[in-house]
Amino acid sequence: MSASWNYVFKFIITGDAAVGKSSILIRLTDQRFLANPDPTLGVEFGSKLIEIPEEGKVIKLQCWDTAGTESFRSITRSYYRGAAGCLLVYDVTSRRSFTNARTWLADVREHADPHLSCILVGNKTDLCDEPAPAGRPREVPTEEAELWAKEEGLLFVEASAKSGQNVELAFEQAARDILDKIRRGVFDDDRSPGVKLSKPVPNSLSLEHKRSTTCCS
Ligand SMILES: Nc1nc2c(ncn2[C@@H]2O[C@H](COP(=O)(O)OP(=O)(O)O)[C@@H](O)[C@H]2O)c(=O)[nH]1
Ligand SMILES: [Mg+2]
């Protein structure tokens, strides 16, 4: 039996605490939303198969979440190492989280692969559609974030982990960008640690076990 995906891409999710990083990952992998997640539980890892139909490719996303360490800014090189994609998340109702995205991007640029595909994600759009007290006013206009993303060479999308809007799309856009880099030879299939070409394996379980063996980058 051959593997049911063509590539494995490693993704990291960064941004301020409480912007919804864990919620985005849970939405992607479990299609659900927790209004009051236990912050101590966090989420560290999630994996999901996505299809890019126009490329005829199935991608296995392996996503690493900062799981609480963001408050200590103690994220190590090993977290960034080997990532092919990054979701840089802020909260559209928090100007501070958008301002801080600059620092997170600086961290990514310092520690991660220079070719990594990064998408800026403005999360919690559902809150601005709701009247008070359930909702919260938007503090970051779409155009402003879009402009900054363009200046920095980032992809950009607004999303809601609560409604699920654009969550999968965010990962898809980044995955498309990575595929494009592979095609152009920027990412080398098997030598870039964040990108792995699938090998025929007896079953998916054995590849799951391989995920801890990215030691040689
Ligand atoms: N309304 C709304 N709340 C969200 C959304 N995403 C996350 N939250 C809430 O924001 C809080 C922080 O989310 P969490 O995923 O733990 O953020 P993290 O610290 O970045 O991982 C939680 O109470 C979530 O329920 C969203 O898209 N809309
Ligand atoms: Mg979290």
Over the chain (217 residues), what is each successive 10-residue block's mean pLDDT?
Answer: 80 93 94 81 84 91 81 69 94 98 93 94 95 91 98 98 97 95 79 63 37 38
Q: Is residue 215 part of a domain?
A: no
Domain assignment of residue 15, given as a range: 7-206
Q: Give the torsion through C-alpha atoms of 137, 139, 142, 144, to 10 deg.
A: 160
Calpha distance 77→64 (Å, rounded): 13
Closest to 192 (Cα-Cα) out of 85, 59, 44: 85
Number of the ligand 1 atom closest to the C-alpha atom of 23: 15
CATH classification at residue 71? 3.40.50.300
Residue 130: both structure tokens together: 């709701």
Within 8 A by CB and 6+ apart from 10, the residues are 62, 63, 64, 82, 83, 84, 85, 193, 194, 195, 214
Provide the Cα torsion 170, 171, 176, 180; round to 10°: 110
Contact 159, 24 (CB under 8 A): yes
Q: What is the pTM of this model?
A: 0.87
Which ligand 1 atom is nearest residue 67's CA? 21
Q: What is the pLDDT of residue 156?
A: 98
- Give the angle subtended at the CA of 64 by the CAs of 60 and 65, to the nearest 5°: 140
Residue labelled with tokens 């990054």: 86
Q: Are 178 and 195 in contact (CB under 8 A)?
A: yes
Which residues are registered as beta bridge partners of 137?
none
Distance (Å, rounded) from C-alpha 141 to C-alpha 123? Answer: 12
Residue 111 three-state SS: helix
Is 66 a domain residue? Answer: yes
21 pocket-lining for ligand 1 (C-beta < 6 Å): yes
Residues 63 and 48: their CA atoms lie apart, in Å, by: 8
Regarding the beta carbon of 22 and ligand 1, being less than 6 Å apart is answered: yes
- Tell me, what DSSP letter sits at residue 23? H
Task: Judge whether 99 lies within some domain.
Answer: yes
Q: Looking at the domain assignment, is residue 104 inside a domain?
A: yes
- φ, ψ of residue 57 in degrees (nearest 5): -120, 145
The answer to the question of residue 120 being in a domain is yes
Residue 173 in domain: yes
37 lines ligand 1 (CB under 6 A): yes
pLDDT at 78: 74
**What distance in angstroms lies between residue 14's CA and the mean position of ligand 1's atoms?**
13
Number of domains in the chain: 1
What is the per-residue DSSP string for 53-90? GGGTEEEEEEEEE-TTGGGGT---HHHHTT-SEEEEEE
Tell me if 216 is assigned to some domain. no
Domain-located, residue 2: no
